[in-house]
Amino acid sequence: MRRADVFKRLLIAALALFATGVWAQAAPGAAGPSLPLMVGQGAGSTSYSVPIQTLLFFTALSFLPAVLLLMTGFTRIVIVLSLLRQALGTQSAPPNQVIVGLSLFLTLFVMGPTLDRVYAEAYEPYSRNAITFEQALESGQAPMRAFMLKQTRQSDFELFAKLAKLPNDVTAENAPFRVLVPAFVTSELKTAFQIGFMIFIPFLVIDMVVASVLMSLGMMMLSPVLVALPFKLMLFVLADGWNLLIGSLAASFAT
């Protein structure tokens, strides 16, 4: 039996079981246990039941990519590495999986002190029931806000503050996240393209020199990109380019 047929049968069986459960709960007078939404109601504290917490957890997982892209240094790192691949002229080396994986680990390295503060100031007290979820959320926002403020340009913040029509007494330290996050992303994009411009210059010079030499020799049918590629790779390796680039990227977040 093909895998597609097995998958279809399993999907039909799952849908049938789901429909049966929904019909049994919706049927009048149907007996059986119901799913508790809340536990601990009354005089004590109120919290969601385990199934509802699980549902909320997996729902929150869909927002993790947005948090990763918009509130960390991942944007700058992945753009710079992608521009480096274009400057080298390699089509798929390093591949996207390597670029994204390296960007993730560099992001964890750069965000390490900030994430440690979030864990110590927000998650650990909340896991010990020392603070509420709202207090943990406020405590976790402070380290992230401090990190973004160090990387955000004042002109970018003023732009979004003007678009949001914030009062004049609102500063970047107390501005809402709906203003701070887009200003931070705009600054990250600007910084990433500035670094990419500096990366392109030496490789562009090599392309121009190779193209001029080939034209002077009359080799019109030979691709300058193909000839310049080994020279660019040799220059990048001899200059220890990976060490310089990754070290400069990590140091660019230390302000």
Kindly report, residue by residue over 50-69, the tens digit of the pLDDT: 676 677 777 777 777 777 67
* Below-70 pLDDT ranges, the chain: 1-50, 52-53, 68, 255
pTM: 0.71
Q: What percent of the chain has pLDDT over 90?
A: 5
User: What are the helix (H) ranges across 89-153?
Assistant: 96-110, 112-118, 124-127, 133-151
Contact 78, 100 (CB under 8 A): yes
**Per-residue model confidence (pLDDT) at position 73:** 87
**Per-residue model confidence (pLDDT) at position 49:** 60
User: What are the helix (H) ranges across the chain?
Assistant: 3-26, 50-61, 64-70, 74-88, 96-110, 112-118, 124-127, 133-151, 154-163, 177-216, 224-238, 241-252
User: How far is residue 146's CA from residue 151's CA, in Å, rounded to a whole number?
Assistant: 9
Contact 152, 177 (CB under 8 A): no
**Per-residue model confidence (pLDDT) at position 255:** 54
Contact 153, 185 (CB under 8 A): no
**Per-residue model confidence (pLDDT) at position 47:** 56
Q: Which amino acid, 221?
A: M
Nearest CA to 251 out of 243, 79, 89 is that of 243
Nearest CA to 84 out of 198, 225, 254 is that of 198
* Token pair recorded at residue 229: 């590629």
* Token pair recorded at residue 249: 């990227």
User: How far is residue 56's CA from residue 10's CA, in Å, rounded to a whole number?
Assistant: 26
User: How far is residue 56's CA from residue 223's CA, in Å, rounded to a whole number?
Assistant: 55
Site of tokens 């401090």:
146
63-86 burial by CB neighbour count: b if 16+ within 10 A, else e?
A: eeeeeeebbbbbbbbbbbbbbbbe
